[in-house]
Amino acid sequence: MISKLSYRNQITVSLLSAILFTAILISFIVSWNAYVNLNKDQIVNANIISHVLIQSIKPTLQHDDVWKAYQVLRDAYADDKTSSTVLIIVDDKLHVFASNKPDEFQVTVPLSRVSPEFELIANYLENKLPESAVIHYGEKTNNITQITPIYVDGVIIGGLVSNYPKYLYFPGFVENVTHVIPPVIIVIFIAVFFAFALSKKMSAPLLKLIDSMSQIKHKSIKDVECVLDKSDGAEVYALTVQFCEMLTALREKENIEKQMVVSDRLAALGRITASVAHEINNPLGGLLMTVDTLKTHGNIDVNTRNNLGLLERGLKQIKDTVSALLVQAKPSSGKFDDDDVHDIHQLILLKSQKKNIQVNWNSWLSEAVLLPSSALRQIILNLLFNAVTASPEGGNITCRIKQSKRHLKIRVENNGDVITEEELQYLFEPYYTTGSEGTGTGTGTGLGLWVTYQIVEQLNGTIKVESSDLVTRFFVKIPLNRETENE
C-alpha cells in the first residue's frame, strides 16, 4: 500500500509510523514500570502494616483476648469503609482466633474450612505456619495473601493472615497512566509537524532531480539543467553526478550527430556542386572561345563589338563563380612558413583599418609546415575577412596559429553578433549568409566559408564554430600527415 504513495508521502508515513511506534513503546515501558513499582509498593505497605499490627496482636494472643484482637483488626482499616482487605489472626494450629469480618470468619474454625480460597492457602502452607512471612498469589482468585508468623520468645504462637485484592493499586496505576498520556500526545503532534517538514527537506533534492530528468522529454538536451549540491546527501549527490554525466554524454552525442548531419549534407552538396560546375565549365569554355574568335577575326560593327564585350564579361563572371565552387588544395604550392603568416597579416591590416578594428596576432611556428601554403593562406584569409565583416566598428579580432607535433591549429575569433544555432547548421553552405553583409570573402557572395570548409575537408582536417554573446570563434585543426588524421 505504501509503495503506491509518492516518495515524499512514503517518507512522511515511515517517519510517523516510527514516531508512533516509539511513543507507544515508551508509554508501555513507563506504564509497565509504574505497574511494577505500585505492585512492589503494595507488598511493602502490606508488610509494614502487618508488622505494626503484630505488635498490638501479640498481647491478645498471649491473654486469649479475642475481643481486643478484633478491635485491633477492625481499627486497622476504620478510615476506609470500602476496603476489601481481610485480616485474620490464627493460632499456631491455623484456627481462626479473630478477624476484621467475624460474620464470615468464625472463631476456632480451621482456616482450611473458611472458604475454598483459604483451603488452597492452608494446603499451600501444609497446615502449619511458616517460619517467616510468605506471600501467596491466588491463581483462581484476584487476591494476594500474606501470612506473617507471630513470635514470642522465639516461639510461634500464631500468625496474621492479610488478604487483599491484587489490583488494590489499580486506581493509582490508572492515575499514573493518565499523567503519561497527555505529554505523549503532545510529543506525537509535535513530531508529526517535524515529520512533514523533514520529509519535505529530504525529498526536495530527489524531486529536483526528477524535475530535471522530466525536462529531457520536453526540452532540448542543452537546455536541461543539472545542479550539483553536496548538501543533498551522499546518495542523491552521487545520483545527480551520474545524471549530469549522462547529460554531458547526451549533449556530446547530439553535437556529434549534428556535425555528422552537417558533414554529410555538405559532402553531398559538394559532390553535386562539383558535378554541376564541371558540366557548366565545358560549354562555358566553348562560349568564351567563340566570343574571343568573333572579336579577333570577325567583321563586326561597333555596336556588336560592345555587345560581345558585355557577353564576354558576363561569361567570365560565370566562370569565376564556377571556379570558386571547384575548390582544390594543390599540394605542390609549397610549404607554409612565417613569410606566409606575414603576408596574411599585411593583407588583413588593409581591410581591418577601414573599420578601425584591432587585430591581435599570435603565431607559434617553430619551422615550416609541410602543408600547401596557398590552401592555408586561403583558409586563414577567408576566416579573417569573415571576422572583419562580422565585427562592429572599433571591434577586436584575434588570430592564433599554433603548430604541434601532429597538427596545425588555427583559431580566429571576433566580437561581432552572435550566430544562432539554426544559422550554425547552414553556415558552411554556398551562398548562405548570416547578415546583410554576408559571410563571404568580403563580397557578400557567401562563398568564403564554403571554400574554407572544402579546403579543410580536402586536407583531412576539421572546422568548428562556437558563438556566444561575447565572442564567435572558428577552430581549424589540420593533421600534418595522413597518419595523424584521426588521432
pLDDT of residue 79: 66
CA gap 340, 355 in Å, rounded: 24
- pLDDT, tens only, 156-184: 889 999 888 876 666 666 777 777 778 87
Q: CB–CB of 384/344 below 8 Å? A: yes
- pLDDT, tens only, 6-37: 666 777 777 778 878 887 888 788 877 877 78
Q: CB–CB of 273/325 below 8 Å? A: yes
CA gap 115, 99 in Å, rounded: 14
What mean pLDDT is reported for the chain?
A: 79
pLDDT of residue 323: 63
Which residues are bridge partners to 137 per DSSP?
Answer: 144
CA gap 406, 403 in Å, rounded: 8
- pLDDT, tens only, 85-99: 889 999 888 899 998
pLDDT of residue 383: 93
CA gap 409, 362 in Å, rounded: 12
pLDDT of residue 479: 92
Given the DSSP bridges, would you call strands 96-99 and 134-137 parallel, antiparallel or unpaired? Answer: unpaired
Among 179, 145, 150, 175, smallest CA distance to 162 is for 145
CA gap 435, 457 in Å, rounded: 25
Question: Is the pTM above the cut of 0.85?
Answer: no
CA gap 362, 378 in Å, rounded: 18
Which residues are bridge partners to 99 per DSSP?
Answer: 88
Among 482, 315, 345, 486, smallest CA distance to 412 is for 345
First to last CA, the chain: 57
Q: CB–CB of 88/61 below 8 Å? A: no
Above 50 in pLDDT, residue 436? no
pLDDT of residue 442: 38
Confidence of residue 380 (pLDDT cuts 50, 70, 90): very high
- Give the max Cα distance, the chain: 179
Residue 360, number of CB atoms within 10 A of its CB:
10
pLDDT of residue 484: 41
pLDDT of residue 168: 61
Report, as an integer, the average pLDDT of 237-249.
81
Above 90 in pLDDT, residue 477? yes
Residue 116, number of CB atoms within 10 A of its CB:
11
Helix (H, G, I), strand (E, B) or coil at 470: coil
pLDDT of residue 450: 81
Which residues touch 381 (CB under 8 Å, ≥6 apart)? 344, 347, 348, 441
DSSP at 461? -
- The residue ranking higher by pLDDT, 151 or 4, is 151
Out of 129-133, 268-272, 445-449, the most confident range is 129-133
Among 245, 270, 86, smallest CA distance to 160 is for 86
- The residue ranking higher by pLDDT, 188 or 370, is 370
Lowest mean pLDDT among 112-116, 149-153, 444-448: 444-448
Which residues are bridge partners to 134 per DSSP?
Answer: 147
pLDDT of residue 414: 93
Q: CB–CB of 334/372 below 8 Å? A: yes
DSSP states of 364-395: E-SS-BSS-HHHHHHHHHHHHHHHHHHSPTT-
Radius of gyration of the chain (CA): 55
Among 356, 353, 282, smallest CA distance to 322 is for 282
- The residue ranking higher by pLDDT, 153 or 36, is 153
Confidence of residue 339 (pLDDT cuts 50, 70, 90): confident
CA gap 61, 98 in Å, rounded: 10
Structural domains of the chain, ranges and CATH numbers in brackets:
2-172 (3.30.450.20), 332-484 (3.30.565.10)
- The residue ranking higher by pLDDT, 358 or 15, is 358
pLDDT of residue 311: 83
pLDDT of residue 3: 62
Residue 53, number of CB atoms within 10 A of its CB:
21
Which residues are bridge partners to 466 per DSSP?
Answer: 473
